[in-house]
Homo-oligomer: A and B are copies of this chain.
Amino acid sequence: MSDIQRHHSDQRLSRLVIHGNMVYLAGLTADDRKQDMKGQTIEILAKIDKLLAEAGTSKSRMLTATIWVTDMRDKAKMDEAWIAWVDAKNVPARACVEARLGSPDTLVEIMVQAVK
Contact = CB atoms under 8 A, between A and B. Distances in A.
A12 B97 contact: no
Please tell me the size bucket of the interface on A: 35 or more
Interface of A: 2-4, 6, 9-17, 19, 22, 24-27, 61, 63-66, 68, 72, 75, 79, 82-83, 86, 88, 90-102, 109, 111, 113, 115
A90 B13 contact: no
Give how many copies assemble into the complex: 3
Contacts of A68: 95, 97
A98 B95 contact: no
Contact of A93 (B2, B17, B86, B95): B17
A86 B12 CA distance: 8
